[in-house]
Amino acid sequence: MEQKNCVFIATSLDGYIADKNGGLDWLYSIPNPDHLDMGYVDFTSKIDALVMGRVTFETVLGFDVEWPYQKPVFVLSNSLEAIPDSHKDKAFLVNGDLNEILEQIHQKGHHRLYIDGGGTIQSFLKQDLIDEIIISTIPILLGGGYPLFSDLPNALEFEFVGSRVYLNQVVQNHFRRKKT
C-alpha cells in the first residue's frame, strides 16, 4: 500500500498561511462566484486521514460551520489534554515521535495522509516526512503572520509535477519530493 504525506495549502505571496491575528479572510479576497474548489475535493478524495496541528484544529472548531472533514483527523499537540466530547468520534489526539505516530496511523489502515497546519508541516519537513506539496499562492503580501515554512537542518529537493491558475489569480503549484 502506497504511503504518502501530502500538503494542500494556500499561502500569501510572502509565505504566510494566516495573518498576524490568525485571520483567514484574505483567502477569500479573490471573487469566486461559482465556488470553485481549486482541486480540494479531488485532493481529499485521495487521502485516508488528516494529521492536523492543534492551532488549526482549534481554528476549525471555532468556525461557525459543521465539521468539514469526512476522514479521521489526528490532532498533533503536546498541550491539549483531550479532544472535546463533541468531536471524540471524528478527531484523535496524538503526540510523541512523528515516525511512531505515523506507524500507529498506518496500522489503522490510513496510508495517504493530509498534513495540515504550519507548525505541523514544519515538524514533518524537519524530518523529511513530506512527499507532496500543493501550494495555492494568493496574490497578497500579508507582511507577517503564521509562516508555512521555517528553518530546516538541510535543503530538501522537490520536483515539479504541475501548475494551474484558478480564477486568473491563484497560482497552484504541485511538487513531489525528489528521492535519489
**97-116: string of b/e by CB count within 10 Å (b at 16+)?**
ebeeebeebeeeebbbbbbb
By CB under 6 A, the residues from 31 to 70 that bind ligand NAP are: 53-56, 59
What x/- string results for residues 118 through 157 when contact with ligand NAP is judged by CB under 6 A?
xxx--x----------------------x-----------
Instruction: Give the whole-angstrom CA distance, residue 94 versus residue 102.
Output: 10
Alpha-carbon distance 41 to 37, whole Å?
Answer: 7
Name which position in 9, 38, 93, 135 contacts ligand NAP (CB under 6 A).
Answer: 9
Compute the least distance from the CB of residue 68 to ligand NAP, in Å: 12
113 phi and psi angles, rounded to 5 deg: -115, 140
Q: Is 5 in the site for ligand NAP (CB under 6 A)?
A: no
Give the type of residue at 48. D
Residues that bind ligand NAP (CB under 6 A): 9-10, 17-18, 22, 24, 27, 53-56, 59, 76-80, 95, 98, 116-120, 123, 146
